[in-house]
Every structure is written in C-alpha cells, then in structure tokens.
Amino acid sequence: MSLPGARAGRPTCALTELAKLALRSDVRGVVIVEYVVVLLLVSALACSAIVILGMAMVKFYASQEAWIGIPLP
C-alpha cells in the first residue's frame, strides 16, 4: 500500500532534469531573503552604535554635571 497522493512505481526523491532546471533557475525569493538579511544586519549595527554612543554620552553628561557643580570662589 502506498501513501495517498504518491505516484506508483516512481521514487519520490527522483526529479526530472526539467524540474531540476526549474528549481535552479527559480530565484525570485532570493532577493527578498537578501534584503531581509541586509536590513537586519544594518538595524543591528545601528542599534549597537546607538547603545554604545548613548553610554558614552551618559558618562560625558555625568562628568560635565560634576564640573558645573564644583564651587569656585
């Protein structure tokens, strides 16, 4: 007994040469995947830059606030 929808007398993993060529030439989704990967990479780099610069700006703000608070005669 075979699985429902399976073709009898033919292995399921064998692809014809035409089907293999069609799979190799079908690159429509690759561009979308590339755009998603590039946008994720750019977003991750931008977020890390904002966090790193934010930490530096907090240190700078604290030091400037300390300098302003020094009582001078």
Threshold 0.75, pTM exceeds = no
pLDDT at 46 (0 to 100)? 97
Q: Is the pLDDT of residue 8 over 80?
A: no
Residues 12 and 18: their CA atoms lie apart, in Å, by 16
pLDDT level of residue 62 (50, 70, 90 thresholds) = very high
What distance in Å separates the CA atoms of residue 58 and residue 52, rounded to the nearest whole number? 10
CA distance 3 to 55: 61
Q: Break the chain into its structural domains and give their ranges.
A: 27-68
